[in-house]
Chain A
Amino acid sequence: MAHLNPTPVLEPGQDRTMILNMGPQHPSTHGVLRVLLEIDGETVVRLMPDIGFLHTGIEKTCEAKFYQQVVPLTDRIDYLCPMTNNLCYVLAVEKLLGLEIPPKAQWLRVLLNELTRINSHLVWLGTHAMDIGALTVFLYCFREREEVLRMFEMVSGQRMMTSYFRVGGIALEPPLGFFDRVRDFAGYFPERIDQYENLLTGNPIWMMRTKGVARMTAEDAIALGATGPTLRGSGVDIDLRRDMPYSSYEKFQFKVPVSQEGDVFARYMCRVQELRESTAIVRQALDGMPEGPIKADAPGVVLPDREKMKTQMESLIYHFKIITEGFAVPPGEVYQAVESPRGEMGYYIVSDGTAKPYRVHMRSACFANLQTLPKMCEGRLLADVVAAIGSIDIVLGEIDR
């Protein structure tokens, strides 16, 4: 009666590990990330991120749109930094076209990009702290984030999906009172950063949960393709804004925060310092804002002003042609990268000479940064996985595209 034998009891030490699914609905995964964990007690033996739940085929969609119709799609890749994606895309198309952008548009782009960075970092800080257990910070961060979103609403009419940049400039003059509001915000925001830091930086619980946790060396970070604060937290001093400047970033003075430790705390410090630096850039942009047009002088590419359309026949024709036929872009290819709040955001655009891009590829920072997660977590405690995921600041929309 061999088949009635009870299931053999495992020898001690044999088959100790178990597989645990974290996500795709786990609150700390910031979206729909599934993490497959092989754990031995509380220790992570193996970790494998499983992505693709948010894949919407944006790259394929872009190929069916006119160049100017792609701009709203770029917002939706990374819903926390829409302006950064707008900027990267329009810079790439402008490079393909060989367009010169007036200084005021460039400075406004810088100003709005730094506000976007503040917005994105505030969401990161709030949710990251909440994951680790500091609930209060979330409310504080969202108080200021709300103010930034109101400014976005002022300029673009939208809080999150701004689509404010255009190929050749920006869509509209900022409304009256916008600059005062930004100046006001830049005035009191450093004090608010102090408040967050009071809650976290010296807090013993915070330090225990972050210091020495999810360590990564600089060599590993470079080999795995990490960028942004994830890379700078490991002591690699690179920031595309300073090192390969675009949109006149070379005219701004700012420090690039770098931490050497490579742990969660180091990445936290990098981002918090970046909040301060971004505020400084915002202030410089306000003080030095040049006068002049906000759109390039390229009638076949840039939509004419409403006023001109009503009085000049050519403007009306151009408007009609751009809307119905798009604008042809000379054949070629460019790779344009910008420093997004998460790292190197790159657009690789191939043009075949028509009005629709032949290929648009988005190099998303999180997609590469996520590869560092196994390196950070394997051999460490399960509870630290949550801290590690928070510290690389993932946005699943950008990873899955």
Chain B
Amino acid sequence: MPLVPAITDLEQLKSHPAVACLLGWNAAAVQGVKFDRDEMTIYVDRANIREACAILKDDSECAFNFLSDVTCVDWYPAEPRFEVVYHLLSIPKKERVRLKVRLNSASPAVESLTSVWPGANYFEREVFDLFGIRFTGHPYLRRILMPEDWEGHPLRKDYPVEGYR
């Protein structure tokens, strides 16, 4: 499929079920939208991410009942530096949506999704381990892939590929 320019206009995309659902709940929580390469991205305000996920999960129109993935992108040296990325899947509707939260580099923290999906546990631990993002309310926020006494967060862009020597 040839590439078409991304749509970032909220007016054009507000009929999308996930966007409509979030706008109907709290229009201030939606900071931006993007429809690119057949994939829907919604930028959610950092304070509202857990509730937004709970709403999308319980809404019968959306039914995004499955958390596929949590990860993070580091845009160093730009600010806001981190983007925590959530991929939700609706098993009944066979739809995907991507939620993003932007975080500043000074003590990046976001609310944990473990109360909505217990399966967020490992993914958030991985992001904590490799990016140093804190997830408040996480039951067991410890390093998961790197050794306990490791210094630094390897997937940050200011961390050298060869590691610190």
Contacts and interface: CB of A to CB of B under 8 A. Distances in A.
Nearest to A243: B94
B119 to A, nearest CB: 3
B68 A344 contact: yes
Contacts of B154: 57, 60
- Chain A interface size, under 10 / 10 to 19 / 20 to 34 / 35 or more: 35 or more
B93 to A, nearest CB: 10
A367 B122 CA distance: 8
Given A59-B155, A346-B69, A224 B119 contact: yes
13 contacts: A52-B143, A52-B147, A57-B154, A60-B155, A63-B161, A97-B3, A225-B120, A332-B37, A333-B36, A335-B69, A344-B89, A348-B85, A367-B126
Contacts of A225: 66-68, 117, 119-120, 122-123
Contacts of A401: 145
B146 interface: yes
Contacts of A60: 154-155, 159, 161
Interface string B27-59: 000000000110101000000000000000000
Contacts of A96: 37
Interface of B: 1-3, 6, 36-37, 39, 41, 65-69, 71, 73-74, 85, 87, 89, 91, 94, 96, 98, 117-123, 126, 130, 143-147, 154-155, 159, 161
Most chain B CB within 10 A, of A244, A334, A335, A344, is at A335
A350 B66 contact: no
Contacts of B74: 359
A363 B68 contact: yes
Nearest to B70: A363
A100 B144 contact: no
Contacts of A226: 119
A98 B2 contact: yes
B145 A52 contact: yes
A55 B73 contact: no
A371 interface: yes
Contact of B37 (A238, A243, A334, A358): A334
Contacts of B126: 367
Contacts of A346: 68-69, 87
Contact of B122 (A64, A334, A368): A368
Contact of B68 (A57, A224, A337, A400): A337
Contacts of B66: 222, 225
Interface of A: 51-52, 55, 57, 59-61, 63-64, 95-98, 100, 222-226, 236, 238, 243-244, 330, 332-335, 337, 344, 346, 348, 350, 358-359, 361, 363, 367-368, 370-371, 400-401
Contacts of B69: 335, 346, 348, 361, 363
A368 B2 CA distance: 34
A97 B1 CA distance: 9
A52 B87 contact: no
A193 to B, nearest CB: 29
A223 B39 contact: no
Given A225-B123, A335-B39, 8 more contacts: A51-B144, A60-B155, A64-B161, A224-B118, A332-B6, A346-B69, A367-B123, A371-B118
Task: Identify the 3 closest CB pairs spanning chains A and B, nearest first.
Answer: A225-B119, A98-B3, A363-B69
Contacts of A400: 145
A335 B96 contact: yes
A78 B121 CA distance: 22
A243 to B, nearest CB: 5
Given A60-B155, A61-B161, A64-B161, A222 B37 contact: no
Contacts of B146: 52, 55
A361 B71 contact: yes
A222 B91 contact: yes
Contacts of B130: 59
Contacts of A370: 122
A98 B73 contact: no
Contacts of B147: 52
Nearest to A334: B37
A340 to B, nearest CB: 13
A333 B75 CA distance: 14
B117 A223 contact: yes
B71 A332 contact: no
Contacts of A95: 37
Nearest to A219: B65
Contacts of A223: 117-119
A47 to B, nearest CB: 13
B91 A236 contact: yes
Contacts of B2: 98, 100
B3 A350 contact: no
A220 to B, nearest CB: 8
Contacts of B65: 222
Contacts of A348: 69, 71, 85, 87
Contact of A335 (B87, B118, B121): B87
